[in-house]
A and B are shown apart, each in its own frame.
Chain A
Amino acid sequence: MRARVVVTGLGVVSPIGIGISDFWKAALAGQSGISAISSFDPFPMEGYRSKVAGQVRDFAVERFIDSVQGERVDRYAQFGLVAAKEALADSGLQMAKENPHRVGVIVGAGMGGMVMGEREITQLYQQHKPHRVHPNFIPAITLNSASGIIAMAHGAKGPNLTISTACSSSAHALGQALHCIREGRADVVIVVGADASITPLVFAGFCSLRALSSKYNDNPEKASRPFDRLRDGFVMGEGAGTLILESASHAKKRKARVYAEIAGYAATNEAYHMVIPREDGLEVAHTMKLALADAGLTPAQVDYINAHATSTTIGDAVEVKAIRQLFKSRADKITISATKSLIGHTLGAAGAIGGIASVLALHTGKIHPTANYDDPDPACALAGLSRSAQERRVKVALLNAFGFGSNNAAVVFKQATAEGRRSKG
C-alpha cells in the first residue's frame, strides 16, 4: 500500500498578513490586500494601464531571518525563507532529530528573482559597465535560488527541486512532493510557492497582455472580483506559502499535529494556447476528475473547492463550466471560494496559498469569503460562492491551479483520519 501523506505545518507571507494567524484572521474577515502601486521608484505609474496590486508592505527580511543568507537572495526567495521558517516551527519538526537526506524541498516559482534581475539589466544597458554587474546576480536569478537557500537554512539534504509552470507552479510542487513521499524518496518535504514580481518590467508585460484589471485603479480593493459580472482582469499579487508534507507514519511517530491529508493530484496540459484556456472546460474537468481518482474519491464527496478564479472574463467562466460538467447537480452544493479576491494573483505562490486556505477549511470548518462577489455573473454563478465567510464541516477539499502554457493542476486534500491526528490545535 502506498504511503499516506499529511500536512503538518503551515507558513505564509501575504498581502493580508505575514504569518498564518494574521493571514487567516484577515481572510475570514474578507479583508482586501489590494492597494495602489504608488510608483515604480524612480518613475511614475502614468504609463501603466493597471495601477493596483496585492503588495506585501513593510517587509524586511531581517525582521524574520537572522542569517545574512536572507539578504543575498531576491525578494521572492526571502518570502519563501520566511514562510518555510514559520511552517517548520509550526510543524514541530526538529531537524537535529531527522535524517537530513530524508527531508526535501520543492519550490514552485513562476518568475523568480525579478527584482534584482531587472535592476541589474537596467544598469548594464544604461551604464554599459559589465564589470559592475553584481557578483550575486546569477545566483539570485537562477530559478532554484529559493529551493537552494531554504535547504541551506535548514540542512535539508533530500530531493531539492524547483517547478516553474507559471501560475500553477506550487500546486505542482505540492503534487510532486506527494509523489516523492509516496514513493519513499523522502519522509518530509518542505513545499513552498513563492513569487515577488510586481516589478516595472513584469508588471508592464502583464499590462501589455491586457490580462490585468484596469477599471478599478481608483478603487483598488474592488479590482479583484472573481465570478462577478464586472470583473475585468486579474490583479497581480506577491507572497509565499509553505506546507510541510510528511508521510503519515513519520508524523505519527513524532506525534505531530496533522492538519489534513493530501490525497490526490493531477497534472495535465490542454495543448491548446499559450495564454487562452479551452472555452469548453473539458480539460479542466478532466484534471479535477483525475486528481479525485488519484485520491480514491468521487466528485460526490467534494465539499469545498478553492478555485483558481483569477477574475478574468474567460478564465472564471471556463472554471465554472468545468465544475458544472464534473459535479453536475452537486456543483451548487459545494462551497467555493477564491483566495485571489483577497490577495490578488500571487502567480507561483498561488497554489501553495490556495492550498493553505484549503487545509485551513478542512481543519477549522471555516471558509473565507470571495471578496467583491457583488453581482454574480450568470456565466459563473454557483450557489456555494459567497462574499461572506461560511462555516461547514469540510471532509474533502479540491484545489485548482491553471497556468500559461496550457497548464492545469488539481490537488485533493481530505480530513485526516483520527489515527494520524494529535489534536485540533
Chain B
Amino acid sequence: MATDPTISLKIRTALAEYLKRDPDQILVAQHLRDDLGLDSMAVIELLYRIEEAFDLQIPDHDLAGMTTVGHVVSYVEKRLGKSAPAAPIKKSGKSLKATKPAKQSKPSKPKSKKKS
C-alpha cells in the first residue's frame, strides 16, 4: 500500500532520532524489534513521540500487530483519515476528545509487557 510521504518521513525521522541514526537508514519494511532492536518499552516511547507529533491518543488495544515501521505509518494514516498527500500536521495541545479511544475491543490482546 502506498504510504503518505510526509507521515512516513515524520515517523522515520522520529525513529531515527530515538535510535540516533540517519532517517535514510529507517525503512518502512523494517521490523521494530527484529530489525531495529526496539523492546516493548522502546516501542511505547516511540508511540509517545508519535502521539505528540500527530496529536493522537493511541489506545492500548491498537498496539497489537504494530510490529513494523510500515504498520505504524499505516496506523497513523488511518487515524488521520488520510492517504497521500498528507495534510499539515496538527499542533499538539488540542482537545483529546476528537481522538478518544475507539470502542473496538478485540479479544486478542494488548501486550502489557510490564513487570510491575
Contact = CB atoms under 8 A, between A and B. Distances in A.
Contacts of A310: 114, 116
B59 A345 contact: no
Nearest to B48: A208
Contacts of A306: none
B82 interface: no
B40 interface: yes
A234 B113 CA distance: 10
Interface stretch (A98-106, A246-254, A272-280, A362-370): A272-280
A175 B55 CA distance: 47
Given A210-B44, A273-B41, A233 B100 contact: no
A49 B96 contact: no
A315 B105 contact: no
Interface residues of B, number: 24
A315 B48 contact: no
A213 B101 CA distance: 14
Instruction: Report, nearest first, the 9 A-B pairs whose CB atoms are least far apart.
Output: A233-B112, A211-B114, A312-B112, A277-B115, A314-B113, A214-B60, A310-B116, A47-B96, A232-B110
Given A209-B44, A210-B44, A210-B60, A234 B109 contact: no
Contacts of A213: 112
Contacts of B113: 275-276, 312-315
Interface in B41-94: 41, 44, 48, 57, 59-61, 63
A399 to B, nearest CB: 16
B111 interface: yes
Given A47-B57, A49-B60, A214-B60, A234 B116 contact: yes
A403 interface: yes
Interface string B93-109: 00011001100010101
Contacts of B40: 276, 314
| Interface bin, chain A | 20 to 34
B41 A167 contact: no
A91 B107 CA distance: 48
Nearest to A347: B116
A313 B41 contact: no
Interface of B: 39-41, 44, 48, 57, 59-61, 63, 96-97, 100-101, 105, 107, 109-116
A231 B112 CA distance: 9
A215 B107 CA distance: 9
A276 B109 contact: no
Chain A residues touching B, majority SS:
loop
B115 A315 contact: yes
A402 interface: yes
A211 B60 CA distance: 9
A210 B100 CA distance: 16
B110 A210 contact: yes
21 contacts: A49-B59, A49-B60, A49-B101, A211-B116, A214-B59, A214-B60, A231-B112, A232-B61, A232-B112, A233-B110, A233-B114, A273-B115, A275-B114, A310-B114, A312-B112, A312-B115, A313-B113, A314-B113, A315-B116, A403-B116, A404-B116
Contacts of A208: 44, 48
A233 B44 CA distance: 14
A232 B64 CA distance: 11
Nearest to A217: B101
Given A213-B112, A214-B101, 15 more contacts: A47-B57, A47-B96, A167-B116, A210-B60, A210-B112, A211-B114, A212-B112, A215-B110, A231-B112, A232-B112, A274-B41, A275-B113, A312-B113, A313-B110, A406-B115
Best-surrounded residue of A210, A213, A276 (most CB of chain B within 10 A): A210
Contacts of A167: 115-116
A406 B116 CA distance: 9
B41 A276 contact: yes
A297 B96 CA distance: 55
A215 B105 contact: yes
A210 B110 CA distance: 9
Best-surrounded residue of B39, B61, B112, B115 (most CB of chain A within 10 A): B115
Best-surrounded residue of B59, B63, B112 (most CB of chain A within 10 A): B112
Contacts of B105: 215
A41 interface: no
Given A46-B100, A214-B59, A273 B116 contact: no
B61 A214 contact: yes
A254 B41 CA distance: 52
Nearest to A208: B48
Contacts of A166: 116
A213 B111 CA distance: 10
A72 to B, nearest CB: 31
Contacts of B59: 49, 214
Interface string A275-315: 11100000000000000000000000000000000101111
Best-surrounded residue of B41, B100, B113 (most CB of chain A within 10 A): B113
Contacts of A234: 112, 114, 116
